[in-house]
Amino acid sequence: MPEMDGLEATRRILATPATADCRIIILTTFDLDQYVYAALSAGASGFLLKDVTPEQLVTAVRVVQAGDALLAPSITRRLVERFAPRTGGPAGSPVHADLSDLTPRELEVLRLVARGLSNAELAAQLSLGEATVKTHVARIFAKLQLRDRVQAVVLAYETGLVSAGSRAEG
């Protein structure tokens, strides 16, 4: 991009009231952690490497358009590896005070979101309707001031709510 990079473009797009609700996917050759974090901090809802297949790109657009977030699998793996050692213990250990506003059901939903379950999978596992799951997820995002599932996953690992290697129960 001749005049600015994708990070600056993302910031400017999301800072404009008319386009503040846009969802942005960064598509790049840069597989660097600091670029991923910068993109997510700038407000990107997705981050993919340019080696994705056309089918994967179409799926990514649909996922982000539906309100979910998406990271390239290699980046997700590194993110988990990076944050998991900081949790200080297994899932269920004391968590950050921000999580104290969540109900037990919301904590359960957040744990499963952090494990990568979709709303449909959450609904099936928890014996709830998908609309109810969406309500729980929306309340979690509002209470914790999260923008999307990527931020929820990072928070869940940072707070020790989940840890690497733990599995979704079911």
Share of the chain above pLDDT 90, in %: 23
Domains contained in the chain, number: 2
Q: At 18, which CATH number?
A: 3.40.50.2300
Determine the average pLDDT of the residues in 65-71. Answer: 82
The pLDDT assigned to 85 comes to 52
Asked if residue 92 belongs to a domain, the reply is yes
Residue-number span of the structural domain to which 62 is assigned: 6-71
Q: How far is CA 44 from the centre of its chain?
A: 10
Asked if residue 76 belongs to a domain, the reply is no
What tens digit of pLDDT does each residue of 97-107 get? 478 889 999 99
Query: Dihedral (C-alpha) 140, 78, 29, 43: value to the nearest 10 degrees?
Result: 20
The model's pTM? 0.52
What tens digit of pLDDT does each residue of 126-162 get? 999 988 998 999 899 888 888 888 888 888 888 888 8
Q: Check whether residue 47 and residue 90 sit in a common domain.
A: no
Q: Check whether residue 92 and residue 155 sit in a common domain.
A: yes
Asked if residue 46 belongs to a domain, the reply is yes
Distance CA 156, CA 144 (A): 11
Q: Check whether residue 57 and residue 95 sit in a common domain.
A: no
